[in-house]
Structure 1
């Protein structure tokens, strides 16, 4: 994706975003804060105005597009990177997992892997900061935090890899 930026003297700024099919999305940000959004079939074609937003509404729409309120899941492995090497991962407990039916203390997951369980998702319920007496059940999703290698060890142990 290529983004082209240009000044519009007396008006504001223009950004053109290549959309992959030779068309472009053109966003004009006026000095007043108003945004106008256009679409161009190609770099050489005329623009068709799609809509206009005031500054406040444009910022709200922008946060939605950025994913500030919701981030869709694209794969079965969910992973969030914190800093250089710390991850938050979601690990599903399947039938046959050696930790299913054990408490967190019995499973000794933190000591063995170096990753910590910070929450258990069980259906619609979320158990935050579960203690050692929390039992791990088939179908649970464990929310785990730790260094990348520790999280990898955790997944391997829980999935039996």
Structure 2
């Protein structure tokens, strides 16, 4: 990418830049602080768009463009963040489990164990976001989400390996 800089006597400075797709952006910075941005499509002589900004507006826009105020997050970064901080697990309810016949609300699962039941698999049915009044049965598979520690503790409890 090439940026051309020039003096505009009595006005200020002019910067021109060719974009990857062949368009041209020209920025004029006045001695007063005012900025003008001209956008030329392809090789057009006349600008397609002209934007005038105050010094403060230009500085705010500049910080956004360099990522100082807003940093876009890629899907990979979002997934990586979730993978570091959340755990998902499936756990099957066995005969005699303390969950049998009780509801999510009655067991206070979120409050007591710090996990959220996001789905229940019963027979061939998937119940997404089950009601707090949903009652567990042996053979149900619970899909749970929470922090890694809380999910591990909950799974051990459901499997009868920890009280």
Which structure has the greater CA radius of gyration? 2
Kindly indicate which of the two structures has a greater share of residues assigned to strand: 1
TM-score (norm 2): 0.47
TM-score (norm 1): 0.48
Kindly indicate which of the two structures has a greater share of residues assigned to helix: 2
